[in-house]
Chains A and B, each alone.
Chain A
Protein backbone atom coordinates (compact mmCIF):
# COMPACT_ATOMS: atom_id res chain seq x y z
CA UNK A 1 0.00 0.00 0.00
CA UNK A 2 1.50 3.34 -0.92
CA UNK A 3 0.13 5.16 2.13
CA UNK A 4 1.36 2.67 4.72
CA UNK A 5 3.15 3.76 7.89
CA UNK A 6 6.49 2.31 6.90
CA UNK A 7 6.53 3.63 3.37
CA UNK A 8 5.08 7.10 3.96
CA UNK A 9 6.89 9.87 2.25
CA UNK A 10 7.18 13.31 3.81
CA UNK A 11 4.33 14.51 1.61
CA UNK A 12 2.00 11.84 2.99
CA UNK A 13 2.90 12.67 6.58
CA UNK A 14 2.12 16.35 6.13
CA UNK A 15 -1.04 15.58 4.18
CA UNK A 16 -2.37 13.19 6.79
CA UNK A 17 -1.51 15.53 9.66
CA UNK A 18 -3.41 18.36 7.98
CA UNK A 19 -6.43 16.14 7.28
CA UNK A 20 -6.71 14.73 10.74
CA UNK A 21 -6.61 18.03 12.56
CA UNK A 22 -9.54 19.54 10.73
CA UNK A 23 -12.47 17.15 10.50
CA UNK A 24 -15.76 18.68 9.43
CA UNK A 25 -18.80 16.70 10.50
CA UNK A 26 -21.94 16.78 8.35
CA UNK A 27 -24.90 18.26 10.21
CA UNK A 28 -27.25 15.27 9.94
CA UNK A 29 -28.92 13.83 13.01
CA UNK A 30 -30.03 10.48 11.71
CA UNK A 31 -31.20 8.88 14.93
CA UNK A 32 -31.39 8.97 18.70
CA UNK A 33 -27.75 9.67 19.24
CA UNK A 34 -28.04 13.21 17.96
CA UNK A 35 -28.97 14.32 21.48
CA UNK A 36 -25.40 13.82 22.73
CA UNK A 37 -23.81 15.81 19.92
CA UNK A 38 -24.64 19.32 21.25
CA UNK A 39 -22.97 18.61 24.62
CA UNK A 40 -19.89 17.31 22.76
CA UNK A 41 -19.60 20.37 20.58
CA UNK A 42 -20.30 23.06 23.19
CA UNK A 43 -18.25 24.44 25.99
CA UNK A 44 -18.15 21.65 28.55
CA UNK A 45 -16.66 18.80 26.50
CA UNK A 46 -15.38 21.12 23.78
CA UNK A 47 -14.65 19.09 20.67
CA UNK A 48 -13.60 22.13 18.71
CA UNK A 49 -10.16 22.14 20.31
CA UNK A 50 -9.46 18.99 18.26
CA UNK A 51 -10.49 20.74 15.08
CA UNK A 52 -13.93 19.12 14.86
CA UNK A 53 -16.77 21.37 13.85
CA UNK A 54 -20.03 21.23 11.94
CA UNK A 55 -20.64 21.74 8.27
CA UNK A 56 -23.91 22.22 6.44
CA UNK A 57 -23.51 20.63 3.00
CA UNK A 58 -22.22 17.19 2.00
CA UNK A 59 -19.97 18.62 -0.68
CA UNK A 60 -17.73 20.27 1.89
CA UNK A 61 -17.88 17.78 4.77
CA UNK A 62 -15.33 15.12 5.69
CA UNK A 63 -17.02 12.90 8.25
CA UNK A 64 -20.47 11.34 8.17
CA UNK A 65 -21.57 10.57 11.71
CA UNK A 66 -24.34 7.97 11.69
CA UNK A 67 -25.82 8.57 15.13
CA UNK A 68 -27.79 5.44 15.85
CA UNK A 69 -30.27 3.33 13.97
CA UNK A 70 -31.23 3.87 10.33
CA UNK A 71 -34.74 3.38 9.02
CA UNK A 72 -34.81 2.27 5.40
CA UNK A 73 -36.22 5.64 4.36
CA UNK A 74 -33.25 7.41 5.92
CA UNK A 75 -30.78 4.88 4.50
CA UNK A 76 -31.67 5.99 0.98
CA UNK A 77 -30.89 9.62 1.84
CA UNK A 78 -27.72 8.68 3.72
CA UNK A 79 -26.40 6.78 0.72
CA UNK A 80 -27.11 9.78 -1.46
CA UNK A 81 -25.34 12.14 0.97
CA UNK A 82 -22.41 9.74 1.25
CA UNK A 83 -21.96 9.55 -2.48
CA UNK A 84 -22.12 13.31 -2.79
CA UNK A 85 -19.28 13.78 -0.35
CA UNK A 86 -15.87 14.25 -1.93
CA UNK A 87 -12.76 12.25 -1.14
CA UNK A 88 -11.23 11.88 1.46
CA UNK A 89 -14.28 10.91 3.50
CA UNK A 90 -14.81 8.83 6.62
CA UNK A 91 -17.81 7.24 8.33
CA UNK A 92 -18.19 6.80 12.08
CA UNK A 93 -20.82 4.42 13.41
CA UNK A 94 -22.22 5.72 16.65
CA UNK A 95 -24.02 3.58 19.17
CA UNK A 96 -24.76 -0.10 19.38
CA UNK A 97 -27.50 0.01 16.73
CA UNK A 98 -24.90 0.33 13.99
CA UNK A 99 -22.85 -2.57 15.31
CA UNK A 100 -25.48 -5.29 15.56
CA UNK A 101 -28.94 -3.78 15.42
CA UNK A 102 -29.11 -2.85 19.11
CA UNK A 103 -32.47 -2.98 20.78
CA UNK A 104 -34.32 -2.83 17.48
CA UNK A 105 -33.00 -6.20 16.41
CA UNK A 106 -36.44 -7.47 15.47
CA UNK A 107 -37.92 -4.33 13.96
CA UNK A 108 -39.27 -4.44 10.44
CA UNK A 109 -38.05 -1.02 9.46
CA UNK A 110 -34.46 -0.58 10.69
CA UNK A 111 -31.28 -2.03 9.24
CA UNK A 112 -29.18 -4.19 11.45
CA UNK A 113 -25.54 -4.19 10.33
CA UNK A 114 -24.38 -0.88 8.94
CA UNK A 115 -21.15 -2.22 7.51
CA UNK A 116 -22.95 -4.10 4.76
CA UNK A 117 -24.45 -0.95 3.27
CA UNK A 118 -21.79 1.73 3.59
CA UNK A 119 -18.18 1.22 4.74
CA UNK A 120 -17.52 2.15 8.35
CA UNK A 121 -14.11 3.20 9.68
CA UNK A 122 -14.62 3.52 13.43
CA UNK A 123 -17.39 2.31 15.78
CA UNK A 124 -18.26 3.99 19.06
CA UNK A 125 -20.24 1.68 21.31
CA UNK A 126 -22.72 2.54 24.03
CA UNK A 127 -26.36 3.44 24.27
CA UNK A 128 -25.83 6.48 24.55
CA UNK A 129 -22.08 6.90 24.39
CA UNK A 130 -20.88 9.61 26.73
CA UNK A 131 -19.30 12.73 25.22
CA UNK A 132 -15.91 11.53 26.42
CA UNK A 133 -16.45 8.31 24.46
CA UNK A 134 -17.34 10.32 21.36
CA UNK A 135 -14.12 12.30 21.62
CA UNK A 136 -12.17 9.08 22.10
CA UNK A 137 -13.74 7.75 18.93
CA UNK A 138 -12.63 10.82 17.03
CA UNK A 139 -9.09 10.46 18.38
CA UNK A 140 -9.08 6.84 17.20
CA UNK A 141 -10.11 8.08 13.75
CA UNK A 142 -7.33 10.64 13.84
CA UNK A 143 -4.79 7.93 14.65
CA UNK A 144 -6.04 5.80 11.77
CA UNK A 145 -5.75 8.73 9.38
CA UNK A 146 -2.23 9.44 10.60
CA UNK A 147 -1.17 5.87 9.90
CA UNK A 148 -2.90 5.83 6.54
CA UNK A 149 -5.40 3.08 7.35
CA UNK A 150 -8.73 4.91 7.01
CA UNK A 151 -9.54 3.63 3.54
CA UNK A 152 -13.31 3.27 3.65
CA UNK A 153 -13.91 5.34 0.54
CA UNK A 154 -11.53 3.21 -1.51
CA UNK A 155 -13.21 0.03 -0.27
CA UNK A 156 -16.56 1.41 -1.40
CA UNK A 157 -15.33 2.18 -4.89
CA UNK A 158 -13.64 -1.19 -5.33
CA UNK A 159 -16.59 -3.28 -4.13
CA UNK A 160 -19.40 -1.12 -5.42
CA UNK A 161 -21.39 -4.03 -6.87
CA UNK A 162 -21.54 -5.88 -3.58
CA UNK A 163 -22.67 -2.78 -1.69
CA UNK A 164 -25.26 -2.00 -4.34
CA UNK A 165 -26.69 -5.51 -4.17
CA UNK A 166 -27.13 -5.21 -0.39
CA UNK A 167 -28.69 -1.78 -0.68
CA UNK A 168 -31.14 -2.79 -3.35
CA UNK A 169 -32.39 -5.68 -1.23
CA UNK A 170 -33.64 -3.23 1.35
CA UNK A 171 -34.58 -0.21 -0.75
CA UNK A 172 -37.32 -1.21 -3.09
CA UNK A 173 -37.82 1.83 -5.27
CA UNK A 174 -34.38 2.65 -6.61
CA UNK A 175 -34.63 6.05 -8.27
CA UNK A 176 -31.25 7.42 -7.28
CA UNK A 177 -28.88 9.31 -9.56
CA UNK A 178 -25.75 7.61 -10.73
CA UNK A 179 -22.63 9.30 -9.49
CA UNK A 180 -19.78 8.12 -11.69
CA UNK A 181 -16.49 9.09 -10.23
Chain B
Protein backbone atom coordinates (compact mmCIF):
# COMPACT_ATOMS: atom_id res chain seq x y z
CA UNK B 1 0.00 0.00 0.00
CA UNK B 2 1.71 3.21 -1.13
CA UNK B 3 1.74 6.35 0.96
CA UNK B 4 -0.52 8.06 -1.52
CA UNK B 5 -3.44 5.89 -0.49
CA UNK B 6 -3.31 7.02 3.14
CA UNK B 7 -3.12 10.67 2.30
CA UNK B 8 -6.47 11.83 3.60
CA UNK B 9 -6.18 9.73 6.77
CA UNK B 10 -2.77 11.23 7.53
CA UNK B 11 -4.21 14.70 6.92
CA UNK B 12 -6.86 14.15 9.56
CA UNK B 13 -4.33 12.99 12.15
CA UNK B 14 -2.00 15.89 11.46
CA UNK B 15 -4.82 18.41 11.65
CA UNK B 16 -5.93 17.09 15.04
CA UNK B 17 -2.41 16.98 16.44
CA UNK B 18 -1.93 20.57 15.35
CA UNK B 19 -5.19 21.78 16.93
CA UNK B 20 -5.11 20.14 20.37
CA UNK B 21 -2.35 19.72 22.92
CA UNK B 22 -1.64 16.36 24.57
CA UNK B 23 -3.18 14.48 21.68
CA UNK B 24 -1.42 11.58 20.01
CA UNK B 25 -2.71 9.74 16.97
CA UNK B 26 -1.84 7.36 14.19
CA UNK B 27 -3.21 5.86 11.01
CA UNK B 28 -3.95 2.14 11.46
CA UNK B 29 -4.75 1.24 7.88
CA UNK B 30 -6.89 2.49 5.03
CA UNK B 31 -10.03 4.21 6.37
CA UNK B 32 -9.08 3.70 10.03
CA UNK B 33 -7.67 6.50 12.24
CA UNK B 34 -7.09 6.48 15.99
CA UNK B 35 -6.33 9.28 18.50
CA UNK B 36 -5.76 9.27 22.27
CA UNK B 37 -6.73 12.28 24.37
CA UNK B 38 -7.08 13.32 27.97
CA UNK B 39 -10.38 13.01 29.75
CA UNK B 40 -10.98 16.74 30.11
CA UNK B 41 -10.73 17.30 26.35
CA UNK B 42 -13.50 14.84 25.44
CA UNK B 43 -16.35 17.24 24.71
CA UNK B 44 -14.18 19.81 22.93
CA UNK B 45 -12.59 17.20 20.66
CA UNK B 46 -15.94 15.56 19.84
CA UNK B 47 -17.56 18.92 19.09
CA UNK B 48 -14.64 19.87 16.86
CA UNK B 49 -14.59 16.71 14.78
CA UNK B 50 -18.35 16.82 14.34
CA UNK B 51 -18.53 20.45 13.20
CA UNK B 52 -15.30 20.87 11.27
CA UNK B 53 -14.10 17.50 10.03
CA UNK B 54 -17.39 15.89 9.01
CA UNK B 55 -17.63 13.04 11.54
CA UNK B 56 -21.39 13.35 11.96
CA UNK B 57 -22.33 9.70 12.43
CA UNK B 58 -21.85 8.32 15.93
CA UNK B 59 -21.27 4.59 15.58
CA UNK B 60 -20.49 3.24 19.01
CA UNK B 61 -19.16 3.95 22.49
CA UNK B 62 -17.46 1.34 24.64
CA UNK B 63 -15.42 0.90 27.81
CA UNK B 64 -12.59 -1.50 28.68
CA UNK B 65 -11.51 -2.30 32.24
CA UNK B 66 -7.72 -2.43 32.63
CA UNK B 67 -7.71 -3.42 36.27
CA UNK B 68 -3.99 -4.22 36.36
CA UNK B 69 -3.10 -0.65 35.42
CA UNK B 70 -5.84 1.01 37.44
CA UNK B 71 -7.91 2.78 34.81
CA UNK B 72 -10.93 2.44 32.54
CA UNK B 73 -10.52 3.23 28.86
CA UNK B 74 -13.45 4.95 27.15
CA UNK B 75 -13.62 4.55 23.37
CA UNK B 76 -15.79 6.67 21.07
CA UNK B 77 -16.18 5.45 17.47
CA UNK B 78 -17.22 7.93 14.78
CA UNK B 79 -17.75 7.70 11.03
CA UNK B 80 -17.60 10.38 8.36
CA UNK B 81 -20.02 9.63 5.48
CA UNK B 82 -18.36 12.10 3.10
CA UNK B 83 -14.74 11.08 3.49
CA UNK B 84 -15.50 7.47 4.46
CA UNK B 85 -13.08 7.34 7.36
CA UNK B 86 -13.60 5.82 10.82
CA UNK B 87 -12.15 7.59 13.87
CA UNK B 88 -11.52 6.04 17.29
CA UNK B 89 -11.16 8.49 20.19
CA UNK B 90 -9.72 6.94 23.35
CA UNK B 91 -9.56 8.50 26.81
CA UNK B 92 -8.39 7.07 30.14
CA UNK B 93 -10.45 7.45 33.32
CA UNK B 94 -9.09 6.81 36.79
CA UNK B 95 -10.53 3.69 38.40
CA UNK B 96 -10.85 4.97 41.96
CA UNK B 97 -13.23 7.87 41.35
CA UNK B 98 -14.47 7.46 37.80
CA UNK B 99 -16.23 10.58 36.63
CA UNK B 100 -16.48 11.99 33.10
CA UNK B 101 -18.39 14.85 31.53
CA UNK B 102 -21.66 14.20 29.77
CA UNK B 103 -21.76 14.55 25.97
CA UNK B 104 -25.34 13.67 25.09
CA UNK B 105 -26.13 17.19 23.95
CA UNK B 106 -23.94 16.62 20.90
CA UNK B 107 -25.70 13.44 19.74
CA UNK B 108 -28.85 12.53 21.63
CA UNK B 109 -28.48 8.77 21.26
CA UNK B 110 -25.30 8.87 23.36
CA UNK B 111 -27.63 8.97 26.36
CA UNK B 112 -28.42 5.27 25.89
CA UNK B 113 -24.76 4.25 25.65
CA UNK B 114 -23.89 6.28 28.72
CA UNK B 115 -26.71 4.79 30.77
CA UNK B 116 -25.47 1.31 29.99
CA UNK B 117 -21.85 2.12 30.84
CA UNK B 118 -22.93 3.75 34.07
CA UNK B 119 -24.84 0.64 35.05
CA UNK B 120 -22.25 -1.91 33.97
CA UNK B 121 -19.06 -0.16 35.12
CA UNK B 122 -20.12 2.48 37.63
CA UNK B 123 -18.68 5.48 35.78
CA UNK B 124 -20.45 8.69 36.74
CA UNK B 125 -21.42 10.97 33.82
CA UNK B 126 -21.92 14.30 35.53
CA UNK B 127 -25.08 16.08 34.55
CA UNK B 128 -26.74 13.27 32.65
CA UNK B 129 -30.47 12.82 32.93
CA UNK B 130 -32.03 9.44 32.51
CA UNK B 131 -33.60 6.77 34.66
CA UNK B 132 -31.19 4.81 36.80
CA UNK B 133 -32.12 1.27 35.80
CA UNK B 134 -31.56 0.41 32.18
CA UNK B 135 -30.97 -3.32 31.83
CA UNK B 136 -30.66 -4.76 35.34
CA UNK B 137 -33.39 -4.60 37.92
CA UNK B 138 -32.76 -4.23 41.68
CA UNK B 139 -29.05 -4.95 41.39
CA UNK B 140 -27.20 -4.33 44.62
CA UNK B 141 -23.77 -5.82 44.03
CA UNK B 142 -20.82 -4.05 42.38
CA UNK B 143 -21.31 -3.17 38.70
CA UNK B 144 -21.17 -6.53 36.92
CA UNK B 145 -18.81 -5.86 34.02
CA UNK B 146 -15.90 -4.87 36.26
CA UNK B 147 -13.12 -7.42 36.35
CA UNK B 148 -13.32 -7.86 40.12
CA UNK B 149 -16.88 -9.20 39.99
CA UNK B 150 -16.41 -12.98 40.03
CA UNK B 151 -19.40 -14.63 38.36
CA UNK B 152 -18.62 -18.14 39.66
CA UNK B 153 -19.13 -17.23 43.29
CA UNK B 154 -22.23 -15.18 42.61
CA UNK B 155 -23.87 -17.94 40.57
CA UNK B 156 -23.09 -20.60 43.17
CA UNK B 157 -24.60 -18.47 45.89
CA UNK B 158 -27.83 -17.39 44.24
CA UNK B 159 -28.82 -20.04 41.73
CA UNK B 160 -29.09 -23.81 41.84
CA UNK B 161 -26.25 -25.86 40.39
CA UNK B 162 -27.06 -28.13 37.52
CA UNK B 163 -27.06 -31.74 38.70
CA UNK B 164 -23.73 -33.49 38.20
CA UNK B 165 -21.76 -30.24 38.13
CA UNK B 166 -21.21 -29.68 41.84
CA UNK B 167 -17.86 -31.34 42.09
CA UNK B 168 -16.79 -31.64 38.47
CA UNK B 169 -14.40 -29.10 37.04
CA UNK B 170 -13.51 -30.92 33.85
CA UNK B 171 -16.12 -32.99 32.07
CA UNK B 172 -13.61 -35.53 30.76
CA UNK B 173 -12.27 -36.24 34.24
CA UNK B 174 -15.79 -36.81 35.53
CA UNK B 175 -16.53 -39.24 32.72
CA UNK B 176 -13.30 -41.12 33.41
CA UNK B 177 -14.09 -41.28 37.10
CA UNK B 178 -17.62 -42.50 36.54
CA UNK B 179 -16.91 -45.06 33.85
CA UNK B 180 -13.47 -46.24 34.88
CA UNK B 181 -11.97 -45.96 31.38
CA UNK B 182 -8.92 -44.04 30.19
CA UNK B 183 -8.87 -40.85 28.13
CA UNK B 184 -8.26 -42.13 24.55
CA UNK B 185 -5.04 -41.14 22.80
CA UNK B 186 -6.56 -38.98 20.12
CA UNK B 187 -8.17 -36.75 22.78
CA UNK B 188 -4.94 -36.23 24.70
CA UNK B 189 -3.56 -34.04 21.89
CA UNK B 190 -5.96 -31.17 22.64
CA UNK B 191 -5.32 -30.81 26.35
CA UNK B 192 -5.42 -27.69 28.42
CA UNK B 193 -2.04 -28.02 30.13
Contacts and interface: CB of A to CB of B under 8 A. Distances in A.
Q: Do chains A and B touch in the complex (CB under 8 A)?
A: yes
Interface of A: 72-73, 100-101, 105-109, 111-113, 116, 169-173
Contacts of A100: 162-163
Query: Secondary structure at chain B's binding surface: helix, strand, loop or mixed?
Result: loop
27 contacts: A72-B137, A73-B137, A100-B162, A101-B159, A101-B162, A105-B155, A105-B162, A106-B152, A106-B155, A107-B151, A108-B144, A108-B149, A108-B155, A109-B136, A111-B159, A112-B155, A112-B159, A112-B160, A113-B159, A113-B162, A116-B160, A169-B158, A170-B158, A171-B138, A172-B138, A172-B140, A173-B138
B161 interface: yes
Nearest to B164: A100
Contacts of A116: 160
Contacts of B160: 112-113, 116
Nearest to A101: B162
Nearest to B149: A108
A111 B155 CA distance: 9
B192 to A, nearest CB: 17
Given A107-B151, A113-B160, 13 more contacts: A72-B137, A73-B137, A100-B162, A100-B163, A101-B162, A106-B151, A106-B155, A107-B155, A108-B144, A108-B151, A109-B136, A112-B155, A112-B162
Nearest to B137: A73
Interface of B: 136-138, 140, 144, 149, 151-152, 154-155, 158-163, 165
A112 B161 contact: yes
Given A106-B151, A106-B152, A107-B151, A170 B159 contact: yes
Q: Which of A100, A108, A109, A170 has the most CB of B within 10 A?
A: A108
A109 B64 CA distance: 21
A174 to B, nearest CB: 10
Q: Which of B140, B160, B163 has the most CB of A within 10 A?
A: B160
B117 to A, nearest CB: 17
A109 B151 CA distance: 10
B85 to A, nearest CB: 37
Contacts of A169: 158
B135 to A, nearest CB: 9
Contacts of A170: 158-159
Nearest to B159: A112
A126 B140 CA distance: 34
Contacts of A72: 137
Contacts of B152: 106
A90 to B, nearest CB: 23
Nearest to A171: B138
A128 B140 CA distance: 34
Contacts of A109: 136
